[in-house]
Amino acid sequence: MVVCLYRVLLIPSQDYARHPHITRHHHLFENFDDRFKVTVLNVRLRVGPTTRETKHEVVEVGLPTNRILRSYVLAYATFHLKLARLVKSERYDCVILSNVISPLIPLLVSGRPLIFDYKDVYSLSASAPFVSPTKPLVQWAARLFEQILFKFPMTVVVPSPSMQRLVRDRFKTDSILIPNGVNTALFHPISEGERRQVRSELELIQGEFGLCYLGSIENWLDLETVVQALVTLDSLKLILIGGPPRSASYLDYILDLCEKKKVRDRVILTGFKPQAEAAKIVASCDAAIIPFSLQSELSAVALPDKAFEYLACGVPVISTRIPDVEELFHDCVYFYDTKEDLTRILKDLLTHSERKCTPAKQIAKAIAYDWKLLSETYERLIVRLVRDQAKEQ
């Protein structure tokens, strides 16, 4: 029997048990071994029951509403009170912060190692769901909180090389790279029998080319270009695995565009799916796409889970030129800049059996980023920081 040696407090950036897509933190911390006892101080943002199991203790604060900003405002005072009480009553060895809800957190948890898991540019992501005049106000407040937080001594962890450069240039801070990854127990090639069954359930008939997208459907995507490819290629079908976690306005806009272009019947919406089901859908498709808009600063520093998940399934991967995806997987991923580029790539995949990268090579690349291996890296970091802190005391 393994005895708990390290008590960790995690403050995640999203609703840990209710976010419709499984998040980086859930992947990492659910893979922690029994030496670690993790408490999740969760700001509850979503109405409804938990949708995701966890082996950790979850302490929830706030009154969830249908509006994110209102949920945060209602949680603000109780969050600080609960955090202060937890830190006082529990002897945490390490605190992991991945939220800009308050610049006071480093003061409240002082005396123990603090890790800031800066998983995206929060001043941009926090303001993304809003419109003017609220949007610039939220962005200003989040940027102010970021600036204050980065003045405190702490260990910064980032998920991509571009984020490392951003943190260094913007905040004059070094960081540790622990990238995003893939659950290779779920994302892998499937048998021909399973593939036929899944395609039948999707109503993909013989000769149709299934192009899938897995993830949140929000306005930082460029699905307009994909719709143009649908217009050009009659045998192409687009399978959207996921949905809008917040506002559905962008998805509604894309569906309206499909109606106008007379291709709505070739767009399949699966809605949010458990990872095991989503993985089988990806593996049954003929290609998978990452259609991020490069006009967004969030896209410019992204290293999305879906890149690893697609590769692990062994299907051809198509992407806009996300810098870190291109740097890591330039020899395996098809990149496009324009609708003409995308159409040409799809035509080549439709008519030629030869591919840029073999499935075996893709899978080998993805395995190096298995979430279990990344969790072990995170565990070693925590152990080192706790031991260094003990030596100083």
Residue 392, CA atoms < 13 Å, CB-side half-sphere: 9
Per-residue pLDDT of the chain (393 residues; tens, 9 = 90+): 556 789 999 999 888 888 778 889 999 999 999 999 999 998 887 776 667 789 999 998 887 776 777 777 777 788 889 999 999 999 899 999 998 888 899 999 998 999 999 998 888 777 766 677 777 887 888 899 999 999 999 999 999 999 999 999 999 999 999 999 999 999 999 999 999 999 999 999 888 999 999 999 988 899 999 999 999 999 999 999 998 877 788 999 999 999 999 999 999 999 989 999 999 999 999 999 999 998 888 888 999 999 999 999 999 999 999 999 999 999 999 999 999 999 999 999 998 878 889 999 999 999 999 999 999 999 999 999 999 888 876
Is the N-terminal amide bond of 136 cis, ω within 30° of 0? no
Structural contact between residues 31 and 58, judged by C-beta atoms closer than 8 angstroms: no
Residue pair 111/386 in contact (Cβ under 8 Å)? The answer is no
User: From its phi and psi, is residue 340 left (phi > 0), alpha (psi between -120 and 50) or beta?
Assistant: alpha
Q: Are 334 and 318 in contact (CB under 8 A)?
A: yes
Could you say which DSSP state residue 325 is in?
Answer: H
Domain boundaries, the chain: 6-181+370-392, 192-367
Place of tokens 């035509």: 347
CATH for 192-367?
3.40.50.2000
282: number of CA atoms within 13 Å, CB side?
32
What is the per-residue pLDDT across 66-106, written as a single tens digit (0 to 9) for each? 677 777 777 778 888 999 999 999 989 999 999 888 889 99
pTM for the structure as a whole? 0.92
pLDDT in tens, 170-203: 999 999 999 999 999 999 999 999 999 999 999 9
Whether the domain at 6-181+370-392 and the domain at 192-367 fall into the same CATH topology: yes
* 304 close to 328: Cβ distance less than 8 angstroms: no
Question: Tokens for 208?
Answer: 């149709």
Give residue-wise pLDDT tens across range 220-238.
899 999 999 999 999 999 9
The token pair at 248 is 């559905």
Query: How confident is the model at residue 390, as a pLDDT?
Result: 83
Residue entry with tokens 């082996």: 55
Pairwise CA distance, residues 350 & 317, whole Å: 14
CATH class of 6-181+370-392: alpha beta
How crowded is residue 134: how many other Cβ atoms within 10 Å of its Cβ? 12
